[in-house]
Amino acid sequence: MPISSQQLLQILPNAGAKAGVFAPVLNTAMQRFQIVGAKRAAAFIAQTGHESGQFRWVREIWGPTAAQAKYEGRADLGNTVAGDGRRFCGRGLIQITGRANYAACGEALGLDLINQPELLELPQHACMSAAWWWSTHGLNTLADAGDNANIGSIINTGRRGRTPNGAAERQAFYEKALQVLA
């Protein structure tokens, strides 16, 4: 069952007009990557809602902060060319980060994200990249088990069992989404 913009606003009240922009492309992305059913959809909306400031930001707010400055030269992110840290900052609803992730995402979605990383700022690609990332990290399995905490941990810290930034908000969005989508 598709998610309406009204349902998105019930879950993410600060999304405002963005709910109407994102609802159709979110549904397309979720369908493509089998993020279907109340548990999966609730977890996906909760996590993407938190990561994007309730769909208000599709690009990481750049300082650079101390953590962002460390993106530069990080081989684990594939950031091997000077300037890659900022060029491949977090984008999309789950904040795809690093040259290597942009390359993999671009290949999967048929987009040239190495030469046009800003494509992930467009709503359809912001949603599709998030759904792709979700799928490649096996998060539907955790969503089916109702394990929203570990989903947030994997998205935010890269590992299970760690407390992610915004854990309380992620959980509140999840609980609200389960109510709205039931």
* pLDDT tens track for 129-172: 999 999 999 999 999 999 999 999 999 877 777 777 889 999 99
pLDDT in tens, 73-104: 999 999 999 999 999 999 999 999 999 999 99
- Please check whether residues 160 and 130 belong to one and the same domain: yes
- Please check whether residues 96 and 171 belong to one and the same domain: no
Query: Any idea what DSSP says for residue 147?
Result: -
- Please check whether residues 115 and 127 belong to one and the same domain: no
- Please check whether residues 70 and 97 belong to one and the same domain: yes
- Please check whether residues 87 and 102 belong to one and the same domain: yes
If one counts the domains in the chain, the total is 2
Find the CATH number of the domain harbouring 99: 3.30.20
Q: Is 51 a catalytic residue?
A: yes
Residue among 51, 72, 118, 169 flagged as catalytic = 51
**Total-model pTM:** 0.95
- Please check whether residues 93 and 131 belong to one and the same domain: no
Q: What are the Cα distances from residue 140, in Å, to 40, 48, 99?
A: 6, 14, 25
Q: Domain range holding 53?
A: 5-57+123-181
